[in-house]
Structure formats: structure tokens, C-alpha cells
Amino acid sequence: MNAPQLSRRGFLIGSVGTGALFALGAGPAHAAGKPFVPNVWVRLEPDGTLHLTCNRSEMGQGVRSSIPALLAEEMGADRARVRVVQAPGDPVYGDQNTDGSRSIRNQYEMLRRMAAVARTMLEHAGARQLRVPVGEVASVAHEVVHASSGRAVPFGQLAAAAAAAKVPHPDKVKLRSDIPPGGWDLPLVEVDEWTSGRAQFGADVQRPGMLTAVIVRPPVLGAALLEVDDGAARAVPGVHDVVTMPVPAPPYAFQPLGGVAVVARDTWTAKKASEKLRLRWSESPHDDATWAADLAQMREQVAQPGTPRRQRGDAENALKRAANVVEATYVVPHLAHAALEPPAAVAEVTATGCEVWINTQTPQRTRSLVASRLGLEEDAVRVNVTYLGAAFGRKSKPDYAVEAAHLSQAVGRPVRVQWLREDAMRQGYFHAASVQALSAGFDDEGALTAWRQRIASPTIGSTFDAARHELRDSELGQGLSDLPLAVPHVSFETHAVQERMRIGWMRSVYNINHAFAVQGFLDELAHHRGVPLPDFIKTVYGPPRVVSADELGVPLWNYGAPEGEHPIDIARYHRVIDAVRERSAFDAPPVEGRAKGFAVHRSFLTYVACVVEVSRAPGGGPKLERAWVVADPGRIVHRERVRAQLEGAVLFGASVALYGHLDYQGGRVRAGNFREYRLVRMHEAPRSIDVEVITDGHAPGGIGEPGVPPVAPAIANAWFALTRERVRELPFHPPHA
């Protein structure tokens, strides 16, 4: 994290389709001995050291290895001579949001072109020095090589000459043809830092004179502070100040929630002093909120017609005419991100601006919100990105950076705001619950003729618009409105739901809810028809073909890249279904006391099929024995990290299935730590997770999130195969039962 910062020179003169900006090269600015900096991604020193920028946040997914590797490969550089530079929050780096599984898929072409610009300039400089045509040289292993004569010039010796040349437009450079669609086996550049304890995470940052703040926030969303008795807290040795935070107004977006901050010499002192505060809160519109009541209301809603969102044919009449009708209701409760590292941010406000150190997924948003809160121009705010100890979407909401900036300005010292585990569980942003009622009709010959699905779920849009209470098209389009049903009569309907807390993105977002409902229901229908689920799904989704938005009558989104529609390729569905079926021996007679469950889902432009084998745990519920995952994400870069993320997705999805549930009463979330909000532990994990990645030249899809959605339904379907007990409401083990 202490690598030299990448300098930016010249003027920003253009973009490359994806919106990434590049810098204008100018001869006079580069005297001999100066580095070669053709754009914000590449900096070559005269000694040959190559600094390559990572503009996304590293949280274990390997982006600080994969992005520089892609740049280095396109340049023909020696990876051993690469130093990774973490970009601060700044629009010159293009889209820096590390969310939506977009780090590679939305930047693949752009990153290659940025590196190709540098390679092209080095090859031209090398050809001039070797006095040969540029078409006869190539960049190989950190040199420009003239193969026929055996001569070569190291990159470092070409830095000054390349720096003096005009920078070509990225669209005019030729890309290398030897980038393998299956990526590379790459080392993790940060392993030494992680294993030695040198890695700097959010809470590791130290600044001279720094204080630490712990904030007591409203116990119920919407409650305001009426009275503060802070005498006992101020009397604690080491307490510097007690600061009342500004009261937010809905929509809450990324505002701090208010409350009272204890600013002290360290976290422990601030925490213990905060427990001595005597606070009185106002009433809140959510004081009557309970999960049981909200669940009952959503169940009542989906029993009635809702707002039509996708219609084909006449599902209502088709269901009335059907020879057989199957109905079921599926429930996913509110979930927490439960990252092992809680949010933390350090802010240092000075007379000239503000500098922030933060474990964030969104450095540019952090910069703009901090600037707005302090009344500064964005150029006066610098946001430094530390490592993230996981995030899963929580750290894309930088309210904690705004808290730190506000407190630093208030006390005149650098301040670290440290969220406690209980804060993260009770006052964060939560994954939206959903209740989904599904009905299917079969004709006399057993063909599926009608599908109706009604959904009640709060929308993330409510966090930004207090008047919005119904799922947006983009949220419905995460496995429902883009479900490629080859069924003549289809209806999807939604209901408005009043949010009771801040609703925000969590890993895989609404795909979790939709996949659980759809894949569980499809298993019920397959059982009704007496056919294996993989065969039934292939029939219901239809033969291999490309399904367009026009065919479905709705936009195709599901976290696709921003440029244009991304049609659904049914052949890719079939491919992952067949592959996981074979690898898992899904059709083989089961081992006594065990059973396998299947599910498949497309999200983030990636197709994932999953099989989980379960037995009965001694305490009841499923014991995870083995899991198989086959993913078709298109082109990949970092093979090991792709496999690791799919393995991690199985554990994340298993935690959702077995334990995930944020219960609340009187508007207050009951879970405070991992004692109450359980995650799958080592002894509960499958003893093997078999992963296959299909890479066949398609454009890159996402990888960090699409492995999660099919896991919970695969477990539930396996449990039914084992016990004939159908689980339609998660989790298997509710808290406080």
C-alpha cells in the first residue's frame, strides 16, 4: 500500500467506449531520465520498474493481481518487475466501484487498450533504436525484441524515448492475440503482506495525533436524539470529546444515522465510555416493526393480484383451465453482510482540505460525499483505499467516511470512526426480504402451460427515494423478469412493501431471493412430473437458442455491462447443467443416508449450476457433505481466484440457507454478533467443493457474486430428496427459535 503514487500529466483528451480516460503525452514534459507515463495505468521508470495501477478495491478477490497481470500481459512485461499502485478515488481512473462483479468484465477491453498504448509506444521507440521496421519487433519479457537479428532493448532504456512520443488514441492500437480465454495461474501479489501482518486494513491506519470514535446510533431507524447526559462518559480517562452527530432526514441514502460520538485515545476507551452515555430517543415510525408481522403482511399481499410487470398470454385463465395446478410460497428474510471486518475510516481535515483512509468499495462516491459534507471542492479531498477484510456490498456505502470527516472537522484532529460488530449488525444496510407466491399449471399431457409469480419485497430504491416501495425493473430483472421460460402463459406481479430499515446491496443482491424461489419451485414441479430436475429445467427453458429482450418483452439487465443488451444464451444454460450433472454423478443411485440437490441460475452475465449432497446432521437439518459447481463466466484472467470465489460462494450461500436471518422486534434488530447471526463454520462446510470453469471465448462475465444464488435452493432441494420435507422459508435454523 506504500507504493509510489501514480502521477497524472497533461490533459484528459478522450475516452475508450467504457468511459476510461487517458492522458495526453507531450514531448517537452519528458526530459531524459524521466519516467514513461502514457496514461494513468502505466508508469515505467528508467531502471525498468513498471508501476501498474489497480483502480478497484482488493477484498480477497485478487483484483490487485488480475488487473496488473492483464496490463502486463498486453504490454509484454515481466510480471516480476511490476509494482502495483492502488489508485485513490478519482474520476480519471474510470469506474472504480468494486461491486456488481464488474472489475474485469466492464474493464477487460479498456485495460488491454491502455496497456497496448504503452506497448505500441515502446515498440516504436525500440524499432527506432534498433533501426529496423516497427513491424519486425515485439515486446517480450520486458524487452523490445528483434527476433531475426537476436537483438533486444530493455524497457527501461526506452522510457525516455517513448515518453517523448505522441500518445496514440487507444482505439488505434492493435491488441495482442495471445491472451488465453482461460486466464493464467497467477500469484497473489499481496500474500506476503497478508500473512506477515504488514497489510493495511481500514482499522490499521495510524496518523499523528489521531483519535478514535465510537458512535451510539439510534436503536430504531428514524428515531432522533432528545436528551444527552454525557457526564459519566466525559469523565472516563482518555476521552477527548463527546460530539452529537447531525440528525439525518429520509431518504437516508449514505447519510450518517446521527447519534452521539465518543472520541477517545483508542477504541476500547471510546467503547467503554459510550456505554456510560445516558440517551433519550424520540419515537420512530418503525417502533412497531416486527419480522413476524411484516412477514404475515407480505404473505397476505402475494395471495392477491399485484402490479403486472411481465406478461405473456393469459396466465390467470390458463391456470383456471389447467388440468393440474401446483402452488407454493417461498420466503427469504432480511440478511446481513456479516463481513469479518467492520467498517472503519480515518479522516484528517486541515485548513486546505481533507484526506481519508478507508476500506471502501466506492472511493469516488466517498470523495464526493465527504466533500459535500465539509463544503469542499472534490479536488480538496483525497481518498486512499486500504485493503478490505471482505465487504459483500456493505462497504459500497461510505456513510462511515462522512462520519469520520465530520468528527475530524469538529475536534480538529485526525479521527478514526470504528464501527463495532454490533453496529454493523444492527445499524447497517440490509439485504431485502422477499415473499414470493408461485403458481404453475399443467395440461392433460403434462406440459407446463402457465406460470404466475407474485413478489412482495422492499426495494433498495427506498434508501434513495422515500416515496418508492416497489421493486424496480433492475431488481425484478435479477432472475425473474429475465427468466427464460418457454411457457405460453407467464405473469410476474409485484407488491409495494414499506421498508423498516436501510435496504442496500448485498452479494448477489435480489438474485438470492429469486433463485431460491424459482429453483425450489421448479424442483417441486419436476417432482410432480416425475422427472429429474435438470431435464425438467432444460424442457422449461427450451432448446438451445438466444433469447432477446424483445422475446421476453422486458429489458435484460441482471447486472449486465452498461453497453447494450445481453441476450440469454440457452445453450450455455444447457452446458453448465450437463457438466455439473456429470461431475457430481447426479443420476447415480444415492449413498445411503445422503441425497443430492440441483439448481442453476444466470446472473452478472455468468451461468452457474450447482449440486449439493447432504445428510442429516445430528442436531437436525442438513449436513453438507459435498458440493459441485460449474460456471460459464466467459473469459477469465486469474484462474485460482475464480475457483476460490466460487468455493467461497458455496460457503456464503450455505450460511444464507442454514442460518441467515435478521430478526427484529420493536424496530430493533436482535442479532448483535456471530453468536446470534451464525455463519457456516469449518466443521459444517462441505468436505469437498468441486469447481469447473468453462471458458470458451465469450466476453467476460462476473465471478464474485453469481456463484451464490443457486446454493441455497440446491441445499433445500437435496433436503427434500433426502427427507421429503420441503423447505420453502429460509433459514433452516431460525434464530431465537
Residues 6 or more apart whose CB falls under 8 angstroms from that of 562 comprise: 106
* pLDDT (average), residues 443-464: 98
CA–CA separation, 66 vs 637, rounded Å? 6
Q: What is the percent of the chain where pLDDT is above 90?
A: 91
Question: Beta strand pairing status for 354-358 and 344-349?
Answer: antiparallel
Contact status, residue 664 vs residue 289, Cβ threshold 8 Å = yes
Report the alpha-carbon distance of residue 671 to residue 333 in Å, rounded: 13
75 and 192 inside one domain: yes
The percent of residues above 70 in pLDDT, for the chain, comes to 95
Q: Specify whether 327 is located in the same domain as 355.
A: no
In the chain, how many domains are there?
3
Residue 736 lies in a domain: no
> What CATH number does residue 379 fall under?
3.30.365.10
* Predicted local distance difference test score (pLDDT) of residue 189: 87
- The three-state secondary structure class of 187 is coil
CA–CA separation, 642 and 36 (whole Å): 33
β-bridge pairing 278-281 and 344-349 = unpaired
448 and 532 in one domain? Answer: yes
Q: Which residues pair with 495 in a beta bridge?
A: 456
Question: Does any domain span residue 176?
Answer: yes
Predicted confidence (pLDDT) per residue in 64-89, tens digit: 999 999 999 999 999 999 999 999 99
Residue type, 228: V
Reported as half-sphere exposure (CB side, CA atoms, 13 A), residue 89 has a value of 32
Whether residues 393 and 494 share a domain: the answer is no
Are 270 and 324 members of one domain?
no
pLDDT tens, position by position, 15-47: 333 333 333 333 333 345 889 999 999 999 999
User: Which cell is 711 given?
Assistant: 446454493
* Residue position matching grid coordinates 489521531: 210
Identify the residue whose cell numbers are 484532529: 413
pLDDT band for position 496 (cuts 50, 70, 90): very high
Mean pLDDT of 620-649: 97
Domain membership flag for residue 455:
yes
Same-domain check for residues 539 and 402: no
pLDDT tens digits, one per residue of 657-668? 999 999 999 999
**114 and 229: one domain?**
no
Residue 573 has pLDDT above 90, yes or no: yes
Cα distances (Å, whole numbers) of residue 670 to 330, 423, 426, 623, 663: 23, 12, 8, 26, 6
Query: Per residue, what are the HEC states of 647-711?
Result: HHHHHHHHHHHHCCCCCEECCEECCCCCCCCCCCCHHHCCCEEEEEECCCCCCCCCCCCCCCCCH
> Do 326 and 524 touch, CB atoms closer than 8 A?
yes
Give the chain's mean pLDDT.
Answer: 94
Predicted TM-score (pTM) of this structure: 0.95
Domain boundary among 418, 445, 467: 418
In a domain, 5, yes or no: no
Q: Is residue 728 part of a domain?
A: no
Q: What is the mean pLDDT of residues 626-632?
A: 98
- Residue 483's pLDDT is 97
6 lies in a domain? no
Predicted pLDDT of residue 31: 40
Q: How far apart are CA 437 and CA 493, in angstroms?
A: 10
The per-residue pLDDT for 562 is: 55
State whether 268 and 310 are in the same domain: no
> What pLDDT was estimated at residue 563?
56
**Rounded average pLDDT over 155-175:** 96
Three-state helix/strand/coil letters over 363-429: HHHHHHHHHHHHCCCHHHEEEEECECCCCCCHHHCCHHHHHHHHHHHHHCCCEEEECCHHHHHHCCC
Query: Would you give the end-to-end CA distance of the chain in angstroms?
Result: 45
CA distance 215 to 453: 43
Task: Clarify whether residues 552 and 691 are in a common domain.
Answer: yes
Residues of the domain holding 168:
12-196
488 domain-assigned: yes
171 with 26, same domain: the answer is yes
pLDDT at 696: 85
Beta-carbon count within 10 A of 496 CB: 16
If phi > 0 it is left, if psi is from -120 to 50 it is alpha, else beta; for residue 497 that is: beta
Same domain, 651 and 525: yes
Of the residues 165, 196, 227, the one at which a domain ends:
196
Mean pLDDT of 611-628: 97
Nearest CA to 354 out of 372, 340, 339 is that of: 372
pLDDT digits (tens, 9 = 90+) for 101-134: 999 999 999 999 999 999 999 999 999 999 999 9
Closest CA to 615 of 665, 564, 687, 546: 687
Domain check: are 217 and 106 in the same one? no
Beta-sheet strand order (sheet of 595-603)? 595-603, 606-616, 622-632, 688-693
pLDDT at site 469? 97
- C-alpha–C-alpha distance, residues 88 and 90, integer Å: 6
| Residue 556 pLDDT grade (very low, low, confident, very high; cuts 50, 70, 90) | confident
**Strand 260-264 to 239-244 pairing:** antiparallel
Which of 163, 178, 196 lies at the terminal end of a domain, its last residue? 196
| pLDDT over 70 (residue 1) | no
In tens, the pLDDT along 348-366 reads: 999 999 999 999 999 999 9
Whether the predicted pLDDT of 504 surpasses 80: yes
Residue 698 forms part of a structural domain: yes
